[in-house]
């Protein structure tokens, strides 16, 4: 499944909040930290950029997929990207 090329950090945060219950935890410089308690505690760091690079986005989605025991394709589908 192809990743979006123009997804911003804010759009990704909103999608993660809606689909998996992630919430903003803290920010250090240009990196925002999110946490969820679903399926155990999981912390996720997202760079606060206007457009996330495809490799960065795939790595973030891979972390989410591993924590929730899903495939990256399932995560993309659930996030409705």
Residue 1 predicted with pLDDT over 80: no
Q: What pLDDT, on the 0 to 100 scale, is given for residue 73?
A: 94
In a domain, 30, yes or no: yes
Residue 68: inside a domain = yes
What is the SS3 string spanning 6-21? CCCHHHHHHHHHHHHC
| Residue 74 within a domain | yes
Angle, in degrees to the nearest 10, between helices 72-79 and 9-20? 90
Task: Identify whether 57 is part of a domain.
Answer: yes
Domain assignment of residue 59, yes or no:
yes
Q: What CA–CA distance (Å, rounded) separates 16 from 2?
A: 18
Q: What CATH number does residue 51 fall under?
A: 3.30.920
The domain total for the chain is 1
Instruction: Provide the pLDDT for residue 36.
Output: 94
| Strand (E) or helix (H) holding 36 | strand 31-36
Has residue 75 got a pLDDT over 80? yes
pLDDT digits (tens, 9 = 90+) for 5-42: 889 999 999 999 999 999 999 999 999 999 999 888 99
Predicted local confidence at residue 68, as pLDDT: 95
Prediction pTM value? 0.89
- Give the structural domain span for 44: 9-79
């Amino acid at each position: 499944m192809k990743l979006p090329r123009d997804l911003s950090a804010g759009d990704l945060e909103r999608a993660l909040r809606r689909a998996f219950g992630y919430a903003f935890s803290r920010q250090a410089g240009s990196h925002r930290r999110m946490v969820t308690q679903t399926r155990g505690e999981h912390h996720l760091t997202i760079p606060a950029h206007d457009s996330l690079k495809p490799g960065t986005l795939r790595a973030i989605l891979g972390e989410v997929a591993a924590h929730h025991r899903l495939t990256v394709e399932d995560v993309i589908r659930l996030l409705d990207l």
